[in-house]
């Protein structure tokens, strides 16, 4: 799918902003000549210009004036100051997409001029390898068509769904923070294999691919994770012994509590 006749701007070209730019250009959603980006850190801009051929500037006004959709890829701590500096350039014809964690639509909208169309998105760091899990929430002035265009952008770097904003903190705790829960799991599984004699490089490849494969089975079969687990655990076999150890160490409670605690922190940041 392409975004016909749309020009997309990015304010902020750090890890997430840069990943989104590379993702939408790689997917062919828009031509690089229709992508505009601004940042105070010129090395990020110059790298994107060299690698992809987008339009760059250190002035946000250039990005806004040339774009139909504007992604605010800035830290939550500075989003208000960024909005204050750009709001008079953002007309009602433009869509503003915020990916600032914990910052509510209501708080974003009140910083802009009345009538500004705002969408809030919670992606995750896996956008850097086009495997992000993203959730999209609709602002009070945004249309469903605006939401669909936003979903198109974020589906270019993974999978995106629409959710009501009142569960966005749960999304933050689950998929926003989730990669950081899985990286130690991959490392620990590899450590176990190294302990048993496998070399480190091979152990990491097998552990990471095992996680990818398990996740793909959940997404593509539509089966409950419990059913899939039962497919692997033969009576008195090797797998059920490993599962028993995980249960003895409260693996489920640990992951549940991680999501809940991260969600609670997201709520705190949004106050």
Predicted pLDDT of residue 87: 92
Predicted pLDDT of residue 39: 92
Contact 21, 52 (CB under 8 A): yes
Percentage of the chain with pLDDT > 70? 99
Predicted pLDDT of residue 3: 74
CA angle 8, 11, 12 (to 5 degrees): 125
| Beta strand 117-122 pairing with 132-138 | antiparallel
C-alpha span between 147 and 48 (Å, rounded): 26
pLDDT in tens, 141-164: 999 999 999 999 999 899 999 999
C-alpha span between 164 and 183 (Å, rounded): 28
CATH superfamily, domain 8-168, is NAD(P)-binding Rossmann-like Domain (3.40.50.720)
Residue 2 has pLDDT above 70, yes or no: no
Residue 1 has pLDDT above 60, yes or no: no
C-alpha span between 178 and 184 (Å, rounded): 11
171-197 mean pLDDT: 97
191-201 mean pLDDT: 98
8-12 mean pLDDT: 96
Question: How many Cβ atoms from other residues are within 10 Å of residue 216's Cβ?
Answer: 10
Q: How far apart, in Å, are the Cα atoms of 46 and each of 43, 50, 52, 210? A: 5, 6, 10, 37
- 8-168 and 178-269 share one CATH topology? no
Contact 11, 87 (CB under 8 A): no
Nearest CA-CA partner of 68 in 168, 150, 131 = 150
Name the 3-class secondary structure at 271: coil
178-269: CATH class? mainly alpha
Nearest CA-CA partner of 91 in 119, 118, 113, 66 = 113
Contact 91, 39 (CB under 8 A): no
- What are the extents of the domains in the chain? 8-168, 178-269
Predicted pLDDT of residue 50: 93
Predicted pLDDT of residue 65: 94
pLDDT in tens, 78-87: 999 999 999 9
177-202 mean pLDDT: 97
Decide: residue 25, CB within 10 A, 0-12 exposed, 13-18 middle, 19+ buried: buried
Contact 157, 123 (CB under 8 A): yes
Helix (H) or strand (E) holding 98: strand 95-98
Taking the whole predicted model, whether its pTM rises above 0.75 is answered as: yes
Percentage of the chain with pLDDT > 90? 83
Dihedral sign computed on CA atoms, order 254, 257, 262, 263: positive
pLDDT in tens, 113-131: 999 999 999 999 898 888 9
Question: How many Cβ atoms from other residues are within 10 Å of residue 69's Cβ?
Answer: 21
30-53 mean pLDDT: 92
According to DSSP, the residues that pair with 151 across neighbouring strands are none
Predicted pLDDT of residue 101: 85
Predicted pLDDT of residue 27: 85
Residue 255 has pLDDT above 90, yes or no: yes
């Amino acid at each position: 799918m392409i975004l016909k006749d749309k020009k997309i701007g990015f304010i902020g070209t750090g890890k997430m902003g840069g990943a989104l730019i590379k993702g939408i250009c790689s997917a062919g959603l828009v031509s690089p000549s229709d992508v505009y980006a601004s940042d105070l850190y010129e090395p990020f801009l110059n790298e994107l210009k060299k690698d992809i051929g987008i339009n760059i500037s250190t002035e946000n006004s250039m990005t806004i004036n040339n774009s139909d959709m504007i992604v605010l890829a800035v830290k939550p701590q500075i989003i208000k100051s960024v909005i204050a500096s750009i709001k008079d350039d953002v007309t009602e014809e433009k869509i503003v997409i915020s990916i600032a964690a914990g910052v509510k639509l209501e708080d974003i909208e009140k910083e802009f001029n009345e009538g500004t169309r705002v969408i809030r998105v919670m992606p995750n760091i896996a956008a850097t390898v086009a495997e992000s899990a993203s959730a999209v929430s609709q602002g009070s002035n945004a249309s469903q068509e605006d939401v669909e265009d936003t979903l198109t952008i974020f589906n270019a770097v993974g999978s995106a769904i629409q959710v009501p904003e009142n569960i966005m903190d749960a999304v933050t705790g689950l998929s926003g923070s989730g990669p950081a829960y899985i990286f130690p799991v991959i490392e620990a599984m590899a450590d176990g294999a190294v302990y048993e004699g496998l070399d480190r490089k091979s152990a990491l490849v097998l552990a990471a691919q095992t996680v990818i494969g398990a996740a793909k089975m959940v997404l593509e079969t539509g089966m409950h994770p419990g059913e899939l687990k039962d497919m692997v655990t033969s009576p008195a076999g090797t797998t059920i012994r490993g599962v028993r150890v995980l249960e003895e160490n409260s693996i489920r409670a640990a992951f549940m509590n991680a999501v809940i605690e991260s969600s609670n922190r997201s709520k705190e940041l949004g106050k």
